[in-house]
């Protein structure tokens, strides 16, 4: 039984290594077509790319959060988890990884199926993969308050108002002392100062901040275009990003169902 209450773990140690069924939201026989947000992950397969630089930085921040976490069982939520290339390796390899019960929320079914399949080769037993809109609070019912909250994609792909609203609502997702690991890039960098101010105004203190240009980023090579102009702009242009870890020292709030945090602008 998962630590998320009534939500079952994907696999029990006594069961076979093949995961049964499909991620919630993916139906048997459903044809999963390759979409831009699936192709967006292609540069993570390169030895060196803009995305692998950002990924490594985020993984370092997750390790920092797990190193500093209280003893005992932990909860985490990954907002717009994609293929979870940031969190999943840390759960496997970090000494505290098996202490963490995780809900990974991803709207793109093919990404969720990729992640769901990857879990089958691990001994992780307390991970949920949920196909749902992470911009709605309903996706977090039963999984919060969490000790670790990952927001490593949305801030680069939502508007300024949604960014402010999301940070203001993070106390609904956070346990006392929770750590929020985040990143932003591309157009999202124009809102970096506002983002940092919003964290400060909402009861968060900065643990670590990686500023744009502080990591030597290189252009990706041999990347397949998605066919989406906005996503290809992220794949092939620029390279600067910001990332950070903020600790929640405010007062947690009850989760209010049916509320919207953000809407992706892509």
Q: What angle do CA 132, 9, 180 make, to 5 degrees?
A: 60
Domain limits, the chain: 36-248
Q: Rounded distance, CA 83 to CA 88, Å?
A: 9
Measure CA of the first residue to CA of the last residue in the chain; give whole Å. 37
Counting every residue written for the chain, the total comes to: 266
Q: Rounded distance, CA 175 to CA 96, Å?
A: 18
Split at pLDDT 50, 70, 90, the class of 185 is: confident
pLDDT of residue 227: 53
CA torsion 76-65-83-93 (nearest 10°) is -100
Exposed e or buried b for every residue in 216-243, given b needs 16+ CB within 10 A? ebeebeebeebebeebbebbeebbbbbb
Q: Is the dihedral of CA 61, 62, 65, 67 positive or negative?
A: negative
Q: What average pLDDT score do residues 154-179 get?
A: 96
DSSP class of 238: -
pLDDT at 226 over 70: no
The pairing of beta strand 74-79 with beta strand 100-106: parallel
pLDDT of residue 208: 96
In terms of DSSP H, where are the helices of the chain?
Answer: 36-39, 50-68, 87-93, 109-119, 160-169, 192-201, 229-236
Q: Rounded distance, CA 109 to CA 111, Å?
A: 5
Q: What is the CA radius of gyration of the chain?
A: 17
pLDDT in tens, 98-120: 999 999 998 888 888 888 878 88
Four-way CATH pick for 36-248: 3.30.470.30, 3.30.450.40, 3.40.50.150, 3.10.110.10 = 3.40.50.150
Lookup: tokens for 47: 């030895």
Split at pLDDT 50, 70, 90, the class of 36 is: very low
Lookup: tokens for 135: 């911009």
Q: Rounded distance, CA 21 to CA 29, Å?
A: 11
Query: Are the CB atoms for 169 and 259 separated by under 8 Å?
Result: yes
Give the percent of the chain with pLDDT over 70. 70
pLDDT of residue 230: 52
Dihedral class, residue 48 (left if φ above 0, else alpha if ψ from -120 to 50, else beta): beta
């Amino acid at each position: 039984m998962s630590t998320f209450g009534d939500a079952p773990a994907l696999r029990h140690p006594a069961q076979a290594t093949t995961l049964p069924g499909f991620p919630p939201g993916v139906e048997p026989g459903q044809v999963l077509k390759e979409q831009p947000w699936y192709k967006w992950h292609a540069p993570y397969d390169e030895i060196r790319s803009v995305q692998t630089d950002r990924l490594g930085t985020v993984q370092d921040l997750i390790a920092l959060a797990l190193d500093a976490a209280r003893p005992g069982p932990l909860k985490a939520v990954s907002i717009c988890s994609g293929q979870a290339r940031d969190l999943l390796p840390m759960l496997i390899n970090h000494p505290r990884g098996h202490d963490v019960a995780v809900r990974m929320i991803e709207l793109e079914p093919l990404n969720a199926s990729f992640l769901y399949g990857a879990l089958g080769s691990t001994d992780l037993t307390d991970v949920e993969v949920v196909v749902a809109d992470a911009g709605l609070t309903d996706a977090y019912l039963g999984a919060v308050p969490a000790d670790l909250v990952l927001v490593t994609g949305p801030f680069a792909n939502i508007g300024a108002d949604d960014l402010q609203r999301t940070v203001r609502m993070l106390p609904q997702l956070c346990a006392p002392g929770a750590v929020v690991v985040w990143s932003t890039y591309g157009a999202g960098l124009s809102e970096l100062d506002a983002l940092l101010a919003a964290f400060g105004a909402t009861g968060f203190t900065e643990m670590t901040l990686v500023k744009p240009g502080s990591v030597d980023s290189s252009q990706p090579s041999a990347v397949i275009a998605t066919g989406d102009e906005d996503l290809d702009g992220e794949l092939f242009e620029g390279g600067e990003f910001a990332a950070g870890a903020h600790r929640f020292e405010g007062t947690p709030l009850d989760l209010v169902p049916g509320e919207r945090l953000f809407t992706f602008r892509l």
